[in-house]
Chain A
Amino acid sequence: MSAIDIEQNNQVLTAADGTPLRTALARATRRAKWRAFGLVLPLLLFVIVTFAVPIGQMLVNSFHNTAFSDNMPTLSAYLSENDISGVPDEAAFEALVTDLRLARENKTIGKVATRMNYEFSGSRSQFTGAARKAKKLEPPYKEALIKLDKDWEDPLLWNIMKRAANPVGASFYLAALDMEYDETGSIVRVPEKSRVYVPLFIRTLLLSGLIAGICLILAFPVAHLLATLPLRYSNLLMIFVLLPFWTSLLVRTTSWITLLQSQGVFNDLLVASGVINDDGRFQLMYNQAGTIIAMTHILLPFMVLPMYSVMKTIPPTYVRAARSLGASSWTAFWKVYFPQTIPGIGAGILLVFILAVGYYITPALVGGSSGQLISNEIARHMLSSLNWSLAAALGSVLLFIIILLYWLYDRLIGIDNMKLG
């Protein structure tokens, strides 16, 4: 661009090498675009490999499960080719016995039994038991198997097997939303007492909302004070906000356990000062109260910082002008100051809410059973019950909620405006 030589006499302006200026400019812009993109490209590829692909993998796992179709090939082929309803005839049972023998030989029967047990409880022992005896079974297989376990003539089990024969299916999403297929194959909600995940999602959203609300109430005065004090005081007080922000999550959780457990500092203090007696110690840990208190403390800086940066930009003269025009201090605050803080409040609430919805560590350590959130259930299915597809489906639902909130945040505040410290 630096060497553009404009020929005044010509109709078409050209660059030094004779190309028309318009083309040269377009080329230079294109090159600049590519140069900027080239700087971002390595990181983009890195994040795609270590972040986007894994999450895609999780999404795939939530509706794609080959445990049955891979290890029971004959029966899966039979079930997908023939349109059966209810309990099928001898041919299907023959395929079943062939596959049971195969799975027993390949030692994959455990996978099949576990997969079926997700949807048909008690079928684990039914499958492993049948596989163990499959070698000795004689035709007709239908009668032989039913003699082993009468569940083999349950049409519900055959419906489930028919669906599992197809590796792609929504059954884990249904489970994640407390729904199931009934005998006729239509989708119904599970009985009220076994609904687990929808109430847990609701609890997660309610607790996150509550925590965001408490954070707002606590952050507002602090942010206001920090924004109105002279810089030398506010920089000092800022440490109170930033130190928790920089302190390890586990350290802060440990502190709260130490403080609030029934033999902890807080209860000891109350007993020593005679407010409560020794039997009346408050149970503040290992329940919902623990989750709320600890998470409020942990997320409070995320509320204070965006509110502070917005309040910092509000000129103090506005409130003074309102007062001199005769407004009471409340009116001046409510009608003039408060509306200007709303962008900060919005940013803070959304950020805290987004972070709270996905919290795992703190509820797991201080939440007991009533303070668990949806993340804890995902972790349980990943690490102990090993129902990975269900964990992936629950994770996908959670991810959907987060993306929705993230989109909202971007629309209202803009991610480029996120600030740290």
Chain B
Amino acid sequence: MAKLPAYTTTGERIWHYTYLLICVLIFLFLIAPILVIIPLSFNAENYFSFTKEMLSFDPEGYSLRHYDRILTHGMANPDIPRDSVWWKDAWANAQWIHAAKNSVIIGVLATILATLLGTVAALGLSRPEMPFRRLIMGLLISPMIVPLIITATGLFFFYSKTGLAHTFPGIIMAHATLGIPFVIITVTATLVGFDHSLTRAALNLGASPVTVFREITLPLILPGVISGALFAFVTSFDEVVVVLFVAAYDQQTIPRQMWNGIREQISPTILAVATILVIFSIILLTTVELLRRRSERLRGISPA
């Protein structure tokens, strides 16, 4: 923390430390709820608060049973010895694994679709000669602004007419649409200050437009593309409203399974799943942060 200047009065000094305290409290408000579920997920009891054993750091108070339950929930024979048969059973029948598989399939395909279309469009949108730029940009960003419930209602009507309801392509297309604004925003942000003389120089030296894109443009905008893709993936991975409206009953995804779990009877298994997801988001955040720094370094923006 920077030192206070010598002319600070006592009152200002008190205010300054109060202000710092307020900031600490707000940071606590932001982060504590997310961190508090991590220890709670190791609770040995079916209980949502810290037990006496947990507070005294008694090993008895902690267990992995809620994590175990993620695997065994929905299995045909969860009690047999844990050999290859057991694991095969878990892979085939455990509900959370089934949901995770669906989430990953939907998320990856939606991300690929959104990133491909979004990156190409962002290249067009950041050209100065693009006609109706503002209007088109407004339309392409609007899936982020329009409430999910409205999008989901519209998709429900549209999909039930076109036969896309209860199909994976339907969900994937919907999720791609929701991820596109993030790809557009991040890629256009990297294209701001993009030095177009580089591409012109390459063209001048006889490179074909495809080569220019592959060798010059793509490496420079790649950090933006990847973080846009990660945003799109997280959007799909976290999306539940559209899935609730257009997916079939057996098309469970992780957020949908959590939603059902919280609505019916919240069990500590949810906390274990939530902990895994928090770790997942920490990894994603780190990746995006590193990419952002790399991008700034590449473009020579950051003072480092």
Contacts and interface: CB of A to CB of B under 8 A. Distances in A.
A78 interface: no
B155 interface: yes
Interface string B128-148: 011100101111111101111
Contacts of B156: 382
B23 interface: yes
Interface in A346-370: 354, 357-361, 364-365
B185 A365 contact: no
A358 B149 contact: yes
Contacts of A249: 238, 240, 255
B150 A248 contact: no
B117 A246 contact: no
A327 interface: no
A58 B157 contact: yes
A381 to B, nearest CB: 9
A262 to B, nearest CB: 10
A415 B137 contact: yes
B22 A253 contact: no
Interface in A225-261: 225, 228-231, 233, 237, 239-244, 246-259, 261
Contacts of B274: 248, 250-251, 254-255
Nearest to B285: A246
Nearest to B239: A249
A242 B30 CA distance: 10
A68 to B, nearest CB: 18
Given A47-B140, A47-B143, A416 B188 contact: yes
Contact of A40 (B36, B124, B204): B124
Main secondary structure of the interface of A (DSSP, over half): helix
A329 interface: yes
Report the 5 A-B pairs with minimum CB-CB distance, sorted nearest first: A358-B147, A39-B124, A54-B154, A54-B158, A43-B121
Interface of A: 2, 29, 32-33, 35-40, 42-44, 46-48, 50-58, 61, 218, 221-222, 225, 228-231, 233, 237, 239-244, 246-259, 261, 263-265, 268, 297, 300-301, 329, 354, 357-361, 364-365, 375, 378-379, 382-383, 388, 391-392, 395, 398-399, 402, 406, 409-410, 415-416, 418-421
Contacts of B176: 46, 50
Interface residues of B, number: 96
Contacts of A406: 138, 142, 145
A375 B40 CA distance: 32
Contacts, number: 277
Contact of B29 (A297, A361, A402, A415): A297
B241 interface: yes
Main secondary structure of the interface of B (DSSP, over half): helix
B205 interface: no
9 contacts: A39-B123, A42-B117, A46-B176, A50-B177, A250-B259, A254-B266, A297-B29, A300-B30, A361-B259
Contact of A54 (B130, B157, B262): B157
Nearest to A296: B29
Given A358-B148, A361-B259, A265 B30 contact: no
B266 A218 contact: no
A308 to B, nearest CB: 13
Contact of A421 (B125, B237, B238, B292): B292
B136 A44 contact: yes
B137 A420 contact: no
A278 to B, nearest CB: 13
A396 to B, nearest CB: 8
Contact of A259 (B33, B146, B244): B33
Contacts of B177: 46-47, 50-51
A243 B154 contact: no
Contacts of A392: 153, 157
A50 B159 CA distance: 9
